[in-house]
Amino acid sequence: MPVPLGRRGVRYTFASMDTAAGVGARFQFSSDQSLLVYFDQLKEQGRARARPQQSQITLQANEKVRRLLRLLESEPVAGVRNLHPAYCSLLVKFDALRLRHEEVEAILRGYLERLDEVSLPEPRLVEIPVCYGGEFGADLAEVCAMSGITAAQAIEMHVSVEYLVYFLGFVPGFAYLGELPEALVTPRLATPRRKVPAGSVGIAGNQTGVYPFATPGGWRLIGRTPVAMFRAEREGLSMLTIGDRVRFAPISAERFAALEKEWA
Amino acid sequence: MGVIQVQEPGLFTTVQDLGREGFGAMGVSASGAADAISLRLGNRLVGNDEGAAGLEMTLLGGTFIFPEGALLALTGSDFGAALDGQPVELWSSFEVKAEQSLRLGPTRTGARCYLCVRGGIEARLFLGSASTHILSGLGGHEGRALRKEDALKIAAESRVIHERRMTARSLKELQPRKVLRVTEGPQSDWFPESARRLFYESRYRVAEESNRMGIRLEGAVIPLPSSGDMISEGVSLGAIQVPEGGKPIVLFVEQQTTGGYPKIANVISADFHSLGQLRPRDEIRFERVDSETARALLREQKEFLASEELLFE
């Protein structure tokens, strides 16, 4: 079972929440036209709606998210307008003049009972070439200093793992990948950058990811890929899809330049 | 086919329609007009479908030339529009003759003015919508705000001759609100009662760096819940998140699809169009309503927009 990685004040922990009945679902009012389904476990605080003291993310909860998403995509509910999956939750947006929250919840409960029937697609393995350090990975040296490792070790660790795409969020094509080897677990920057170059590979907590566009960002940058992560003209648009597996492959600056031309 | 020539683009002018719902799992937010009601009515004034693409101008309008003429309507805020120097009325359709020039200036009221043209603006659709998504550079006119000398195509449509306008009563009804009604956010109960009281009793000022992604607020700093143990989750349009530092941000049309800050409240759907008319330095406050009220207000708005007496010819 994965061990909690919540060291140095990192927000996210992966831990098992296996119970006989599996991970239960919880519904939460989000807005007048949306509700959240959580696959997590509230730690009992003695109060009915106590805030979870330690939120937990698990592979199991995320798998439920992916199953529910797939079921809702293959059998759409009339009046449901959008779905925003995340680590252990799914935001369901709907036409509030057509459906009430209670109705959406009742329909979703029916879907939840059938989650075991859902077959998830065979995960694709996507390799992403990365040029680490230097101008492409402005925070690599600091990450190494914080963890007491060399740049070569950090790169070796980052490429050693086959990551899971937990979900896409934030901006088009931004994949939340987990989980990082423990020695690379590093908090976000105290002050986010106003603009992170497109293709930047960052780490935050026990997550890693690639910025598809030049956006503001608080993750620590360790490298950059020349590959376009989201392109309007490409079928599927996004390089990565929820549930994919990802490996990073180190490349030289020369190779980066050559690939960048190919992708331009 | 008609054309709009951009002589001056204005401060920030983009092609917008009603957006692209349904791609949240790809990280793509709906986008679309910041004041969707103004765009919808502008389109109706020129006889288009409500969701046709128009121009959304922000704070300062542009100057446009119509080499072949067009039927237009301006809606939303008053940007002091003039056609060849003659003032034109907002909220009514008007004919522009070949080579005439429409000039708009700085706003006299709210943040956004919409230019709708009979036929609609023709733009390459991205995920089914012509809406410009600035951050990713997709949709609209080359995925960006308009520039000097851009030329936009007007979709072919047999031109209607009669002009339409809005009734005075309906315009009053559509006045953007400065007291925004909200429902509880998914993490409302993470905040102590004192923090919530502070949020509802305070006046907030819209910060300069607000944009289509988020409306940043200045004013009373909301104390954060004791330990920041939030996991990123899907966020709704109009969600009011409280990041470190305690200054609330209202997530807007070009919002991030997921976020990791607790949400104290969520602007109700019936007030989204009011968000689109907020200018920097505007003062607002929030009023809590329950979900039944929010739904009733949305239904009322829908019925009002469908009513017969809204526009006349």
Which of B27, B28, B231 is nearest residue A12 as measured by Cβ atoms? B231
Å between B183 CA and nearest CA of chain A: 6
Architecture in CATH of A125-263: Beta Barrel (2.40)
Domain coordinates of chain A in residue numbers?
A: 26-117, 125-263
Smallest Cα–Cα separation from B192: which of B262, B247, B261? Answer: B262
Mean of pLDDT over chain B: 94
What confidence tens digit (pLDDT) does each residue in B71-95 have? 999 999 999 999 999 999 999 999 9
In chain B, which residues fall in CATH 2.40.100.10? Answer: 179-308
* Amino acid found at B18: L
What confidence tens digit (pLDDT) does each residue in B249-260 have? 999 999 999 998
What confidence tens digit (pLDDT) does each residue in A170-208 have? 999 999 999 899 999 999 888 889 899 999 999 998 899
Question: What pLDDT is stored for residue A23 in this prediction?
Answer: 59
Q: Calculate the alpha carbon distances from B304 to B44, B194, B307, B308 in Å.
A: 14, 38, 5, 9
Å between A245 CA and nearest CA of chain B: 16
Give the pLDDT mean for B263-287. 98
Which residues, 6 or more positions from B168, have their beta carbon under 8 angstroms from its beta carbon?
none
Q: At A11, list the tokens.
A: 């927000």
| Fold observed for domain B179-308 | Cyclophilin (2.40.100)
Size of interface A-B (CB pairs under 8 A): 158
Rounded to a whole number, what is the distance in angstroms from the first to the last CA of chain A? 42
Distance CA A64, CA A87 (A): 10
Distance CA B253, CA B214 (A): 8
Distance CA B24, CA A170 (A): 10
Selected residues 72-101 of chain A with any CB under 8 Å from a CB in chain B: 73, 81-91, 93, 96-97, 100-101
Distance CA A121, CA A90 (A): 19
Which of B30, B225, B231 is nearest residue A82 as measured by Cβ atoms? B30
Could you identify the residue written with the tokens 């169009």? B273
pTM for this prediction: 0.91
Distance CA B171, CA B78 (A): 13
Distance CA A227, CA A246 (A): 14
Q: Which residue of A has its CA nearest to B251?
A: A170
Alpha helices in A117-226 (DSSP H): 140-147, 151-160
Q: What CATH number matches the domain at A26-117, 3.40.50.300, 3.30.1360.40, 3.40.1000.10, 2.40.50.140?
A: 3.30.1360.40
What confidence tens digit (pLDDT) does each residue in A35-71 have? 999 997 554 333 334 333 333 457 889 999 999 999 9
Å between A166 CA and nearest CA of chain B: 11
Which of B234, B260, B298 is nearest residue A91 as measured by Cβ atoms? B234
Distance CA A98, CA A107 (A): 13
Question: What pLDDT is stored for residue A14 in this prediction?
Answer: 32
Smallest Cα–Cα separation from A82: which of B112, B66, B23? Answer: B23
